[in-house]
Amino acid sequence: MITYEDFAKVDIRVGTIIGVEEFPTARKPAWKLLIDFGSSIGTKKSSAQITHLYSKENLLGKQVLAVVNFAPKQVGSFMSEVLVLGLTNESDAIVLVQPDQRVPNGQKLH
């Protein structure tokens, strides 16, 4: 088991996807995302294997939750700065974790 203090170290924030690019060199199909986390964190990049359920068009403007305090991770030729959170459905496709109402970018998960 972990303590609340352990959980509090994971900085999970909400951001709005403002850019989506193809990632043709990824080993598994993925999008390159640019996410706006508000003025305190700014914009960050992430690679997300969510192409089965999400098109470029329906990702733009979508709010998502992401861990913003992991060290950046090299994913092929791309440096991913945050980890976008998702769950797998019955078909093993990733479903994004997102608020059911709009909230300010940068809001921390409590």
Per-residue pLDDT of the chain (110 residues; tens, 9 = 90+): 999 999 999 999 999 999 999 999 988 999 999 999 999 999 999 999 999 999 999 999 999 999 999 999 999 889 999 999 999 999 999 999 999 999 999 999 98
Quote the CA–CA distance of 50 and 47 in Å, as a whole number. 9
CATH fold, domain 4-96, is OB fold (Dihydrolipoamide Acetyltransferase, E2P) (2.40.50)
Structure tokens at 31: 């999008």
Ranges of each domain in the chain: 4-96
Contact 17, 61 (CB under 8 A): yes
- The residue with tokens 């709010």 is 63
Structure tokens at 64: 């998502």
What per-residue confidence (pLDDT) applies to 97?
97
What per-residue confidence (pLDDT) applies to 18?
98
What per-residue confidence (pLDDT) applies to 62?
98
Local structure of residue 93 (DSSP, 8 states): -
- Compute the C-alpha angle 32/98/37, nearest 5°: 60
